[in-house]
Amino acid sequence: MSLEGNGVKIIAMALNEAGMLLRGRHWAKNTINFMLTSEIYCGVSIFNRISRRVPNPPDLWIRVNSHPAIIEPDMFARVQAGLGTRRPGSGREGGTPRSLAVFSGLLRCGECDGALMMMNGTGRNGVRRHYYACCTHLRGKAACNFKNVRIDEFDPWLVRELLDKVLTPETVRNVVREATALGGQWARDRQLRRDALVRELRDTEAKRGKLYGVLELLGTDAPNLADMGPRLRELNDQIRRLEHSVIKLEEEPTGPLDAPELDVQEVTGMLRGLVENCEDPKKLRTFMGSFVEKITVAGEEVAVYYNEGRMMSIGGAMVSSERKWLLNLGSNQGPTD
């Protein structure tokens, strides 16, 4: 997989998805990197790495052929060369395959439900390309017939389809409507919380007032005088906490109820423009992942599972409206609840 151009993180993800764990534990990218760069698999043990706790330069290391190799030296050398070209700052145009994919982490095989991973390949014309491939199929764990999909063709097409079928004025209007309704409930809940805090504050102040009244009336003759001092401090601390909680509650944003009326067409056009003009796959991944749950690909059919309410949040609560959108490579059917 490394020779095919896959990075250590992608390899770790593929092994974990296929269930090929490391003594029952999930693979980490650092472990994969260590294995790919360790000469021990070539039958070589290295000595004199450190002298008096100070690392020695590689030209002072002592290499000994100490055991049978399980990796050929030529393959090891080619892997090291490939790792060098994929390191940050190596001058490789475009970065890693993951950095080029918009829907990384969202795609599943529609036949076996395996995750679609990114891999490299060389076409008939010798051009290096990036593909989505079924992870479990590649590992021989599933008998699906998934055909690799070119990322440079699939991603732009699906972005356009999502904009046309999901990011529509109707969707934005529904989100605003549901968000406004949720905002009304949020305002009512906030008033209930404030009322409860104020009641507790007044009750605590009344208890403190009674203690002060006893002290003023009886002075040093008051019963349990030694216990009244700590109790007064406790009540004063409680009053300060409640007053602070009321102030924080008053400072909370009021939500969308006080927001100006939105022009749905203008908002929709603005969001489309941001997506269409974005040249950073990472930013597009973040946007798509904010409301797309998963995407399944099976032959000529692509199904998108999304939650349009996640386009807008109010006080940490999300509008709940889960949908599935099914399309057949260009021909679209409406969303179903």
| Long-range residue pairs from 83-88, CB within 8 A, at least 24 positions apart, any chain | 83/2, 83/33, 83/36, 83/37, 86/5, 86/7
pLDDT at 203: 92
Q: What CA–CA distance (Å, rounded) separates 92 from 86?
A: 7
Mean pLDDT by 10 residues, the chain (337 residues): 82 84 89 91 87 79 88 88 62 44 85 83 74 79 78 89 80 70 69 87 89 78 74 88 85 56 74 80 79 85 78 35 46 38
Q: Which two tokens stand for residue 117?
A: 């991973």
The pLDDT of residue 181: 66
Q: What is the pLDDT of residue 41?
A: 92
CA-closest candidate to residue 101, choices 156, 30, 144, 175: 156
Return the ∠ at Cα 329 (arms to 323 and 334), rounded to 5°. Answer: 30
Q: How far apart are CA 107 and CA 298, in angstroms?
A: 11
Helices (H), the chain: 8-17, 29-37, 73-86, 97-100, 135-138, 151-165, 169-218, 225-251, 264-276, 281-291
Specify the pLDDT at position 94.
35
Q: Residue 86 has what pLDDT?
A: 58
| Collapsed DSSP state (helix, strand, coil) of residue 73 | helix
Task: Tell me if the pTM is above 0.75.
Answer: no
pLDDT at 333: 39
User: Distance between CA atoms of 207 and 296, rounded to whole angstroms?
Assistant: 63
d(CA 306, CA 166): 9
CA 268, distance to chain mean position in Å, is 24
Alpha carbons 293 and 239: distance in angstroms, whole number: 46
Look up residue 90 and give its DSSP letter. S
- One-letter identity of residue 98: R
Helix, strand or coil, per DSSP, at residue 50: strand
Q: Is the separation of the CB atoms in 149 and 131 below 8 Å?
A: yes
Q: How many CA atoms lie within 13 A of 270 on its CB side?
A: 7
- Please report the pLDDT score of residue 218 as a whole number: 77
DSSP classification of residue 23:
T
Would you state the pLDDT for residue 87? Answer: 57
Distance CA 13, CA 197 (A): 49
If you ran DSSP here, which 8-state letter would residue 278 be given?
Answer: -
For residue 123, the surrounding DSSP H or E stretch is none
